[in-house]
Amino acid sequence: MESLTRTLPASWFCSPALYQLERRAVFLKSWHFLGPVTRFQKRGEQLKYEIAQVTVIVENTSPEKEGIDVDGITVCAEDEGVKIKSRLTPSGLLFVALSLEAPDFEDFFEGLEELTNKVDFTKLPHRRSISYEGRFNWKTMIDGYQECLHCQYTHPTFSKFYPPTFYSVTNHKNFSQHIADPSKKSDGLFLYFFPICTLNVYGGGMTSFRTLPSANPGISRMEFDYYHEGSDEEFEEYFKFVRQVAIEDFELCEKAQENLERGVYGEGILNPVKENGVRFYQQRVKELVYRQHALEKAAKDEKSNTVQVHAEMDGGSKVIAVQ
């Protein structure tokens, strides 16, 4: 029998030093989803995104009457004003990488375009965006997103339309696909893009959200973008429905974080079937953080060896190389 996986310990949700390590290991080396092209419909409007303390600016510079292609979307880092790595998928989804250290898009999200190319994401117009802060670590929110064990008691309205009985998560390379009901593939489709972005098609519209980390590991900023093609009334109905679910999750996360910070919860065992999505992304974080730590330790050791060599050379020692 496969051994059961444990959750990341509570310290990973509370330590500022661990967040800094996560920032270098995870955020600066990942691709982040910003939105479908319909988010960038307004020509000349600069949209700012702050991800892990890096600000990027997106602008649609394509001619008004033409469709948007990859050359029409400019993504720059605010600091240097230079273009950064971006990817507009054939189905119309825009992703950015925060540093040159991120792997190639195809390598990072292997197999993603095969899946997203089946859907045209350019149909639903952008209707509204909202943003606010929450008292929880970014992983507290992603933990909840990546499983639906909590759905039945936390989301009574959602569960009525999407019974958790059928809910399943399939993990791929740096992304997960959630299906609420296998008989309705185009409704109840949820995509998680490691580490902090999601795209959710349900209830007649589409929502994307990002859980943005801050230097304080107990604080995150939620950013939501809503897409819908119905009338104002229909959109408001949809908005009310999806907001209800988001508020329920928000309250749950603030309470969970409180328990993590007070030492009420240390770590536990993950359900291998119902929490396979949590296991997948937490293991990914752990793997990347450990790798980064080893890299930085090796670089530090190398540096101290160099210092030692220099000291010895300066001191006239015969030893000129230290392993």
Positions touching Fe ion (CB under 5 A) are: 249
Shortest-Cβ-distance residue relative to Fe ion: 249
Residue 59 belongs to what H/E stretch? strand 54-60
Residues ≥6 apart with Cβ < 8 Å to 35: 93, 94, 126, 208, 225
- Local structure of residue 92 (DSSP, 8 states): S
Sheet holding 73-77: strands in order across?
A: 46-51, 54-60, 73-77
Least Å from the CB of residue 150 to Fe ion: 6
Least Å from the CB of residue 278 to Fe ion: 12
Alpha helix (H) ranges present in the chain?
16-25, 105-108, 112-116, 138-145, 151-154, 156-161, 232-262, 276-314
Between CA 61 and CA 255 the distance in angstroms is 43
Nearer to Fe ion, 223 or 249 (CB): 249
Distances (CA, A) of 256 to 134, 218, 246: 12, 11, 15
Least Å from the CB of residue 153 to Fe ion: 10
Nearer to Fe ion, 96 or 248 (CB): 248
Nearer to Fe ion, 225 or 249 (CB): 249
HSE, CB side, 13 Å, CA atoms: give it for residue 234. Answer: 9
Nearer to Fe ion, 180 or 289 (CB): 180
Least Å from the CB of residue 16 to Fe ion: 27
Nearer to Fe ion, 22 or 249 (CB): 249
Least Å from the CB of residue 119 to Fe ion: 23
